[in-house]
Structure 1
C-alpha cells in the first residue's frame, strides 16, 4: 500500500477514511465480479499471507486447547485448567506494547530487515525457544514452570500478531484486505489444526507400546515438532519484502515520542468515529465471545467423553481442514461480494449454533460420526466468521498507526472472552458440559443486536 502522509480528517466528518488511513470497508455489496475476486487469491501478497497466517496460528492451541488436553491427561483438574487459560490474557493486553512494535527499531535487525520483518523474526524466535522449554517440562511433576513457558509463548505469539497485522494492512490496498484476511485466516486455521490434531497425532504415535496412561515423552516429541514447524514462518519472513517504509514525523523529545506512540493512535480513532466508537468497541469486544469461552473446555470434553487422541486428531485433520478452507475462502469471497456486515451477522449466528451442537454431542456418548459432524460445522462457522471479522477490523485502522490500532481492536476481541473462559472449568464442574455449551451459545445473542446497530449506523 502506498504511503499516505496527509493530515487527519476533521473530527466533524462522520466516519471518514482519514488520509493515511484505510478507506471505509466494503460494508455494502460490491460490484466486483467473482472472477476478479478469486484471481486475487493467486497474487503473491495473498499467498504470502497464507504462510504467515500459519506462523501466527501455530502457537495459539499449544497454550490453550492442546495444552489443556495434555494437562487433563496428566491428571490436572478442570478448574485449574480453566484458570490456566488466563495465560491468553497476554493477547488481550498486547495493545500495551504495540506502540513499541509500531515505532521502536531493533538494533541491527531493523536495519537489515526493516521495521515489520525484524519484529516478526524476533517474536518467532521467542515462540520457538519457549515451545522447546515447554517440551522439556513435565506438568505432572512441576506445573509452575509450564505456566511460565506458556506465558512466554503467548507473549511472543501476541507480539508476532502485532507485527503481522501491521504487515498485512500495509501490504495491499483496502479492496484486497478481505482476500488477505481470508488467506491469513486459512493459514491460521490450518496451523491450528496442525498444532491441535497434528500434535495429538504425533503424541499418540510417540507413545511407547505396552505402557498405558500418561507419557511425558510423547508430548515432548509433539511440542519439539511444533517448535520446528515455526521455521516455516521464519523462512517466509526472510524471503518476503518489507512494506513501503512510512517516514514518521521526528520527535522533539521523549514526551513528544510518547505522545505520538501511545496517545495519538487512540485519539485518532476517537476523532474519526466519535460517539460511534463505543458501539464499534462493544461489537469488537463481544463478537467472538461464544467461541473463545467454549474453546478452552473442548479438549477436556473430548477426554472425558472417552475420545482418544487418534480419534480427535483424525477427525480434525480430515474434516476440519476441508471445512476450514471452505469457511475461510467462502467468508472472504462473500465479504468482498456482499459486504462485511452481512457476513459478520452470518458468522455470529453460525458460531453460536455450533456451540449448541457441542451440547447435543454431549448426549451422544462415544459417537465418532457425531464428532465428525460437530467438528466440521464448528470449523466452517469459525472460518466464515473470522475472515469477515478480520476484514472489518482492518477497515477501521489508520495506516499511520496500523500496529497499535489493530492491536487494540484484536486485544479487545479477546480480553472479555478470555477473562470469562478462566471460570469455564468451575462452571463445568458445577453444571456439566451440556449446560455449559448451551450457556456459551446464549452469550452470542447480544452480538446479533450489536451487528444490527452497527449496520444501521454511519459506520456502514
Structure 2
C-alpha cells in the first residue's frame, strides 16, 4: 500500500507554487484574457467618438458586449468537443486566433468606420474573448494543484488588470498618435505572440474523460453539483458573499461627485489608488489562502470586506477631505481584493474537472447576477437614508453570506471540508424518483416564476427610484411600461436578462430534483 502524501508546510507550498510553470502559464494566459475587455469597454467607444460617430450609435454598439453576460450558454460545447490532448488549450488557441483576426480587422475601417462593420467586429471580439475566458478558467481548474491556487489567483488578477489597462488606456493614448489602424494591428499581433504560451503550457494531470454526449455536457454538470449535500447553501453563498460589497460600490462615483470632489480626484482614487490596492489585496489574499487555509481566509476576509464600507460613511460625514477619501477608497479596494482572492480559490476547489468549463462559467454567472441586482436597491436606499446611513447599512448586509458560509465551512475550519469540494461522493436520494415529464413541467414552472419575479422586482425598483424620495407617486404600471420599452442599449440587456436567468434557474431546479430523487425509469412499451 502506498504511503500517504506528505503535507507541505506553508513555506514549502509557496516555494513550490512560485517555481511552477503551471502557475506561470495560467498567469500569462490571464494577460491574454484581459486585453480584449479593455479594448471593448474603453478603446472602441473612444475611437468611435474620435471618428465623429454620435453618442446614441456608440451606445448601441455596447450591446455587442452581451456575450460576456451569456457565455455560460455555450460553455458545455467546450467540455464536450475538443481534441483528446490539449482539450482546453485548443479552445484557448482558437480564441486567440479569432481575437488576432477580428482586432486587426478593425484597422480596415480606421479612417472610415461604419456602424454595421464596427458592431459586427465588436460582437466577434466579445464572443471570441468570452470563449477564450471560458477555456482559460477551465484550464486553470484542471491544471493547478491545491498549493498553487492561492498564488495563482493573485498573479492572474494582477496580469488581467494590467492587460485591461493596455487594451484600454494605452490604446486610447497611442491610437491618435500612431494612427488607429496601426494600433489595432499591433494589438492583434499581441494575441499571436501569446500563442506559444498556450502551446507550451503543461497538460493537466489526470483529467477525467470528456462527457460522452452534448446532453451529458449540458445536464450532468447541474446534476453532479446538486448531488453535493450542501449544494443549495454553496449556491446561496456564491450569490451572497460579495453582495454587500456590490451594493456599497454601485454608486461610489456619483457619491464622490455629489460631495463636490473634482473628476480628476475621483479618477486618481478609482483609477490609481483603488486599482493598486485591489491588486495588492488580491495577491495578499491568495497567499493567505495558502498560509491560513481557504476556510479561515473566507471568514476573516468576509468580515474585513464588510467593515471596510464604514470608511465611506466617515467620508460622507466629513465632506471634502481628500486624505480621508483616498484612504477610504484604498481600504475598500484592498479589502475587496482580499475577499475576491479567497472567493476565487473556492471556485477552483468546488468546480469538477470533468465539467470545468460549464460549472466554472455557471458559478461565475451566479456571482455576476449579484452585481446586476445590486445597483437598483442602492439607489432606493440612498434616497431613503442618505449616504452615511446607506454605507453603514451595507455592513450587516454581509451577514446572510456569512450564515451560508457557516453551513458548509464552519468558522473554526482551516480548510474547506472535503464534502464541500468538487469530487465528493453523491448524497443520498430522498423520496420517490421523478419522471422525465414531471422534471420538464417543474423546470418550466420554476423558469416562468423566476422570470416573472425578476421582472416584478425590476419594475418595483424602477417605480421606487422614480418617486425621488416621495416627491412623485408610486406608479408600478408606468415603471413596467418603461421596462418593456427599452430606450438605451443597456435597457435591452435588462429586458432579455430575466427570461435567460429564468431558463437557467428552471434547468437548475430540474437538475436538483433529479439529483436528490433520481429519474424514474420508463416502463416497458406495450
TM-score, normalised relative to structure 1: 0.67
Matches for 1:54-203 after TM superposition, within 5 Å = 54-64=31-41, 90-105=67-82, 110=83, 114-128=86-100, 151-195=123-167, 199-200=168-169, 203=172
Matches for 1:271-290 after TM superposition, within 5 Å = 271=227, 273-274=228-229, 276-290=230-244
**Structure 2 residue corresponding to 1:47, chosen from 14, 24, 48:** 24
Structure 2 equivalent of residue 395 of structure 1: 349
C-alpha contact 2:308 2:331 (8 A) present in aligned 1: yes
> Deviation at 1:92?
4.4
> Deviation at 1:281?
0.6
> Deviation at 1:279?
0.6
Which of structures 1 and 2 has the bigger CA Rg?
A: 2
> Deviation at 1:36?
3.5
Task: Say which SS state the counterpart of residue 95 (structure 1) adopts.
Answer: helix
Deviations 1:347-375 (A, max 9, x none): 33444455554566678888765564345
Q: Is 1:37 aligned to residue 14 of structure 2? A: yes
For the residues of structure 1 that align with 2:292 and 2:37, how far apart are their CA atoms?
Answer: 31
Structure 2 equivalent of residue 241 of structure 1: 202
User: Structure 2 unaligned runs (5+)?
Assistant: 1-6, 411-416, 422-526
For the residues of structure 2 that align with 1:220 and 1:325, how far apart are their CA atoms?
Answer: 32
For the residues of structure 1 that align with 2:319 and 2:185, how far apart are their CA atoms?
Answer: 33
**Structure 2 residue corresponding to 1:270, chosen from 189, 203, 226:** 226
C-alpha contact 1:287 1:348 (8 A) present in aligned 2: yes
User: Structure 1 unaligned runs (5+)?
Assistant: 1-29, 209-216, 252-256
RMSD over aligned CA atoms reads: 4.9
> Deviation at 1:58?
3.3
C-alpha contact 2:43 2:171 (8 A) present in aligned 1: no
Deviations 1:415-450 (A, max 9, x none): 2423555x5997699789947983766654432332
For the residues of structure 2 that align with 1:436 and 1:146, how far apart are their CA atoms?
Answer: 44
For the residues of structure 1 that align with 2:330 and 2:357, how far apart are their CA atoms?
Answer: 33
C-alpha contact 2:49 2:55 (8 A) present in aligned 1: yes
Cα–Cα, structure 1 residues 291 and 229, in superposed 2: closer, same or farther, change >3 Å?
farther
Cα–Cα, structure 1 residues 260 and 429, in superposed 2: closer, same or farther, change >3 Å?
same
How many residues matched?
Answer: 400
For the residues of structure 2 that align with 1:102 and 1:450, how far apart are their CA atoms?
Answer: 30
